[in-house]
Amino acid sequence: MVELGHYVLYVRSMPPMVEFYTRVVGLEVVGTTFGGRATALSGGRTHHELLLLEVGDAPGPLAGHRIGLYHTGWCIGSDDAELVAAKARCMAVGAKVVGQSDHGISHSVYMLDPDGNEVEVYVDVPSFDWKNDPSWLAHPVRPLALDDASTKL
């Protein structure tokens, strides 16, 4: 089996990025090194899924039509109530929510971390058998209303 192990982000300032990825996404700090200029974070699946490397002031991520990373996606739970809570935590740390989508197979909230990287937090729709039903690829992306978090997937 092959799975994504981790990714690494260069960041301007460590504290706001650690706060975002711990408070909003739900990762835990595993440890720091290089005099606090590197922080490893994990969701519990492996030793670290994210490594932050502080580089100070530098140009931010490219935006719009471009080549390169569009966003990262983090599965944060199993129902829309967890998305509502993540959205509230995002706004509480002053980060920006940039979208909400129903992908058929999953429900997602898109936000920008403090350095402007787009981050998707999502929950899978448990009734969708993605291993045996590839129709999710053709599912239209629809707006997601999160006003009623009591709706069960």
CATH number of the domain to which 32 belongs: 3.10.180.10
- List of residues 6+ apart from 95 with CB closer than 8 A: 20, 24, 111, 112, 113, 114
In terms of residue numbers, what domain contains 120? Answer: 71-153
Residue 150: pLDDT band by 50, 70, 90 thresholds? very low
If asked whether residues 50 and 84 sit together in one domain, one would say no
Mean pLDDT (the chain) is 93
DSSP state of 150: T
**86 in the same domain as 134:** yes
The answer to whether residues 48 and 80 belong to one domain is: no
Check residue 118 and give its pLDDT.
Answer: 97
Do the Cβ atoms of 126 and 75 come closer than 8 Å? no
pLDDT, tens digit (0-9, with 9 covering 90-100), for 60-104:
998 889 999 999 999 999 999 999 999 999 999 999 999 999 999
Share of the chain above pLDDT 90, in %: 84
Residue 75 and residue 53 in one domain? no
* pTM check: above 0.85: yes
Please give the single-letter amino acid code of residue 15.
Answer: P
Please count the other Cβ atoms lying within 10 Å of the Cβ belonging to residue 21.
25
Residues 20 and 92 in one domain: no
On whether residue 128 sits in a domain, the answer given is yes
**Looking at the structure, do residues 98 and 149 belong to the same domain, yes or no?**
yes
Count how many domains the chain has. Answer: 2
Assess if residue 64 is contained within a domain. Answer: no
